[in-house]
Structure 1
Amino acid sequence: MATVEDERIAGDGAADPEPTRSVMHQVYTHSWFQILLISFICFCCPGMYNALTGLGGSGQVDQTVAANATVALLAATAGTALFVVGPIFNRVGPRVCLLLGGWTYPLYSGSLLCFNSTNNGAFVIASGAILGIGASFLWVAQGAIMTTYVPESQKGRAIAVFWIIFNLGGGLGSLASFGLNYHSTSGTVSDATYIALLIVMAVGWLLGVFICPPASVRVAQLQVTPEEKKTWKQTISLAVRTITNWRVLCMLPLFFSANVFYSYQQNVVNGMTFDIRTRSLNGALYWIAQMLGGLIMGLILDMPGLNRQMRARVAWLFLFATGMAIWGGGYAFQKWSDHRMSQGLKQDVDYTDSDTSVGPMFLYIFYGAYDAFWQSFCYWLMGAQSNSPAATAILVGAYKTFQSTGGAMSWRINALGKPAMTQFAMDWGLCMGSLVIGIPTVLAVTLTSDPESDPALESSDKVQE
């Protein structure tokens, strides 16, 4: 007897006469194959981008151009992710979104390669703005896939697997940069670094063609909007209903703070403290720490023996406690760094000088782990609101919008040269304050996502009526 899967593959109710094709199709549409595929795409594209930004000033001595390019990038993402890319996702699906956004990553790496020879800062900044739009398409598709393509009981593991593979990109990219710049004394990374990262980014973009649409993924809890209900009116209504939910409103400060500390950590802690090869090494350690951080938070969020409500509360407590400890260590570092800067000492610490380098390097590692704790928790909270890719795409769009708004603010403050201690205090205060504001959403997490209260289905019913 033909299975439902066989009938769907054959398209006419009969079993597929080609068993090999059927097996391949089952692998291709398996939720975990898709999770691994989107993870490798992000390994190649934003993972390599992270390797660049983790160098401090994207590997340039003058950090101003890179900082302003990042401001342009984040502003463009903030302006497009929620009410532009989120609704578009519901109409065209993840594959088209990835193909629309992926090419902008190699463009940005190419602009930095050009800057090494021409000092054309305008091209770098313009490429950053274009990348901001492309990143909106990529991250909205990624978030919807990661949080809805697996059953509820496996969402923590899906986030952990994604975070490990994605940040392996930043880690390996930084290690490659470390090797290419080991003997460099210029303070600027080599052309070969930018060329290598450009090629890997291009490969990641092309992998987007293999992403499977939600309707073909074999997950029982996946709630797919029927094609006949994918109207612009329906899509905009879904966006408004999702973003105005009080649970989501309490999450917005968490979203705003998700990248607010990058400019301080990358340009001040790493960029102004260490020499170029140690900055490359630190970049690798930072992203490797993110892999471990994602694994730890994923295990907490899928902890056996606890229901989903308890896991949400344990994860929040873990995030608050580790945040206070790590940022407390950061305060001690910043006082030490301010003293060194007053003596004219900057970008001079090498990893071989263990008496000076060990403490700041470990702090930077812990900062990387905490970023993974934070973002994994945010994604899990979004996944706990709905099993609909359409609704989750709106949530991820809101996440990227507010995350980018906070990041653009902090990068602009960094580009204006505000005191490092001011930047540090702002980051610490925003992180802890937003965790407190998010408590009502954490307490409201339910045992399972109720299909009847899902905003995507509610909106569909209204259109049908």
Structure 2
Amino acid sequence: MSKNSSLVTTDMVVRDSQEDDLVRIPDKLRSDMHDPTSWYNRRYVSWLPPYSNSMVQIVVMSFVLFLTPGCFNAITGIGNSGISDPKVSDNANVALYSTFATIGAIGGVVCNVIGIRWCLMIGGTGYVMYTLSLLVYHYKQNAAFCIFAGAYLGFCASLTWAAQGLVVMSYTLENNKAHAIMVFWVIFNFGAVLGSLIPLVQNLELGASNVNAGTYVGFIVLMAAGIVVAAFLLPMDKVYRSDGSQVIEKKYPRISDEIRGMFRVLKHEPRIYAMFPMFAASNWFYTYQFNDVNAVRFNVRTRSLNSLLYWLFQMIGSILVGFVLDWRRYTRPVRARIGFAIIFLSGLAIWGGGLKFQMGVTRQNVKSIPPIDFTESRYIGPMFLYICYGAFDAMFQSFIFWVLGTFSNNPKKVALYASFYKSLQSAFAAISWRLDATEHSFLAMFISSWALIQGSLLLAAPLILFKITETTAPETEEILQISLDDEVTTAPSIEGKTEQDSKLKS
């Protein structure tokens, strides 16, 4: 027996939150973990995992986005952000997404340096300021403040979504990634659903083109609450997956190293480029749906109802695609092909129906067409179309996150994936909002949206159908060590370390 045997005489026990199995961790490893008696490692309710469990952290993060971009989506979904001048809304969104596209490219780098908690807290301030600018515009018609707030929100949103991508794609085990995405998408969109109730209730009797001031005040309060919730998120090094493995070791990276790591990912992983067209398509159609359909074809109370239904069925769409993508009856490559087929065919059907609704309506004649109210019989068809638009958006974006999650389990690396995704998404969204501000035809906006969706799926098809593997090879925490052959290893898991200590005993 070696001297090292004295280090492993007693064990600490960690309970698996999903399987209820016991993972025994030798005393030698206690120095690698945080104090098991800390409040975040305790089970206060026997059937609930501790606060340090990765799925609990995903839920907390989801509620932060529920209160910040979730409520922002409710405002945007009304059309023209609820204000009377569509050009002000368009220009503010151009500023937002232009900044987002620029800063978003390095959002993952910043997130890896300052951590998810600070990213989400700083990010929340942008949503508060943007909504405040809409409130000021309601009284003072200060368009410049709206544009400035949009640009500031673009910076903040890049941090918010980098943190979100890191958490949702790397905190869970491989066989639960689609469920993690589903949980996030449901909670996140529930924020937009509840947020849509505010303008619906407050403007139920109105037929005006803009919402009242109380709507914006309610959103500001909710968004500020999101910043407070973000302060309670744990650092990554205090979070553990259900098998007992630590999400990431505690490190203090240099920003220069992180930037070099970003370029290494772009250089050594060409498969990410196949997803770029889907990134570009993923928010392009929002401009058409919110401003060119909802804002011009319906009165204000019906727009609010449409927004509620849009985000409600996003929740349903994400649940459906989540179960398909984690359906363990089939292998992961097969699930990828099933998901691809569902989304491609759904896009053809839903946007085909949208073409019928759009035909014959132009910017020139739309003002002569009476706005649709939800009490009219002619509302039924457009209502179902708008519901399907919402469900498809959730399915499309959830599928993108899931595919990216099959590339890596490394939190630092998936933060960069999320940055590439959101940066390119925002760049094309800025173009779309600008095209709407310059009054390109409704039909052109529709055709470009549909063509981008179906075309991007076809371009990504070789990767999705033939290159997704059953499991992802372990990777190191240090992106700078990524090599062309991907033969790298992670920091050992708790179970791996236990095996190493067993060898020491002998």
Is the contact between residue 143 and residue 396 of structure 1 (CA under 8 Å) also seen in structure 2? yes
Q: Distance in 2 between matches of 1:428 and 1:260?
A: 10
- 1:113 corresponds in structure 2 to 135
C-alpha distance in structure 1 between counterparts of 2:35 and 2:148, whole Å: 52
Deviations 1:72-108 (A, max 9, x none): 110111001122x211111221111112211111111
* C-alpha distance in 2 between matches for 1:341 and 1:407: 24
Residue 169 of structure 1 and its aligned partner are, at CA, apart by: 0.8
Q: Do 2:412 and 2:477's aligned partners in 1 also have CA atoms closer than 8 Å?
A: no
* Deviations 1:176-204, CA, capped at 9 Å, x for gaps: 21010011233210111000010000000
Deviates more, 1:272-281 or 1:11-20: 11-20
Partner of 2:84: 61
Shift of 1:237: 2.4
Q: Quick one: which of 463, 478, 495 aligns to 1:441?
A: 463
How many pairs are equivalent?
458
For 2:358, the equivalent position in structure 1 comes to 334
Larger Rg: 2
Cα distance in 2 between the residues matched to 1:249 and 1:91: 25
> Hey, what's the Cα distance between the residues in 2 that align with 1:34 and 1:357?
41
TM-score normalised over the length of structure 1: 0.93
Unaligned runs of 5+ in 1: none
- Counterpart in the other structure of 1:294: 318
Aligned residue in 2 for 1:236: 259
User: Aligned partners of 1:430 and 1:457: how far apart in 2?
Assistant: 34
Partner residue, 2:236: 214
User: Is residue 292–residue 369 contact of structure 1 (8 Å, CA) maintained in 2?
Assistant: yes
**Residue from 25, 43, 56 that aligns with 1:23:** 43
Q: In 2 relative to 1, CA 195–19 (structure 1 residues): closer, same or farther, beyond 3 Å?
A: closer
Structure 2 runs not aligned, ≥5 long: 1-9, 15-24, 489-506
- Contact persistence 2:196–2:304 (CA under 8 A): yes
CA 320–87 in structure 1, closer or farther in 2 if over 3 Å, else same: same
The Cα of 1:284 is off from its aligned counterpart by 0.1
SS across alignment from 1:348: coil
Q: TM-score, normalising length from structure 2?
A: 0.85
Q: What is the CA–CA distance in structure 1 between the aligned matches of 2:168 and 2:56, rounded to whole Å?
A: 11
Cα deviations across residues 198-220 of structure 1 (Å, max 9, x unaligned)? 00000001111111222221125
Q: Which residue of 2 aligns with 1:266?
A: 290
Alignment root-mean-square deviation, CA: 2.5
Aligned with 2:109: secondary structure?
helix
- Show the 5 A alignment for 1:322-361: 322-338=346-362, 342=365, 344-346=367-369, 348-354=371-377, 356-361=378-383
- Whether contact under 8 Å (1:225, 1:390) holds in the other structure is no
CA contact (8 A) 1:271 1:347 kept: no
Question: In 2, distance between residues paired with 1:304 and 1:10?
Answer: 35
The alpha carbon displacement at 1:23 in A equals: 3.2
What is the deviation of 1:116?
A: 0.5
What amino acid sits opposite 1:362 in the alignment?
Answer: F
Instruction: Write the letter of the residue equivalent to 2:203.
Output: N
C-alpha displacement of 1:66: 0.8
What SS does the corresponding residue of 1:272 show, helix, strand or coil?
helix
> Which of 268, 273, 279 is the aligned partner of 2:303?
279
Q: What CA deviation, in whole Å up to 9, does each residue of 1:305-335 have, x standing for no partner?
A: 1111111111111110000001101110110
Q: Secondary structure at the match of 2:130?
A: helix
- Please, which of 3, 6, 24 is the counterpart of residue 12 of structure 2? 3
| Counterpart in the other structure of 1:390 | 412
For residues 137 and 346 of structure 1, what CA distance do their matches in structure 2 show?
42
Given the superposition, is the C-alpha separation of residues 14 and 310 from structure 1 closer, same or farther in structure 2, using an over 3 Å criterion? closer
| Counterpart residue number, 1:317 | 341
3-state SS of 1:271 partner: helix
Q: 2:201 aligns with which of 176, 179, 200?
A: 179
Deviation of the 1:225 alpha carbon: 5.8
Q: In 1, are the aligned partners of 2:271 and 2:463 still within 8 Å (CA)?
A: yes
Cα distance in 1 between the residues matched to 2:153 and 2:438: 22
Go from structure 1 to structure 2 and tell me whether the alpha carbon gap of 1:31 and 1:16 turns closer, same or farther (over 3 Å shift).
Answer: closer
Name the structure 1 match of 2:397: 375
Say whether the 8 Å CA contact 2:408–2:472 is kept in structure 1: yes
- Contact kept, 8 Å, 1:181 with 1:190, in 2: the verdict is yes
- Residue 246 (structure 1) shift: 1.4
Which whole-Å CA distance do the structure 1 matches of 2:282 and 2:326 have between them?
22
**Higher mean displacement: 11-20 or 53-62:** 11-20
| 1:232-271 deviation digits (Å, cap 9, x = unpaired) | 3431222112233211011011101110000000001111
Candidates 32, 39, 48, aligned match of 2:62: 39
Deviation at 1:61? 2.3
Shift of 1:336: 4.4
Equivalent-residue separation in structure 1 for 2:34 and 2:359 (angstroms): 72
Query: What is the DSSP-based 3-state SS (H/G/I as helix, E as strand, rest coil) of the residue aligned with 1:261?
Result: helix
CA displacement at 1:153 relative to structure 2: 0.5
Residue 474 of structure 2: aligned partner: 451
Deviating above 3 A after TM superposition, structure 1's stretches of 4 or more consecutive aligned residues are 4-26, 220-223, 452-455, 457-462
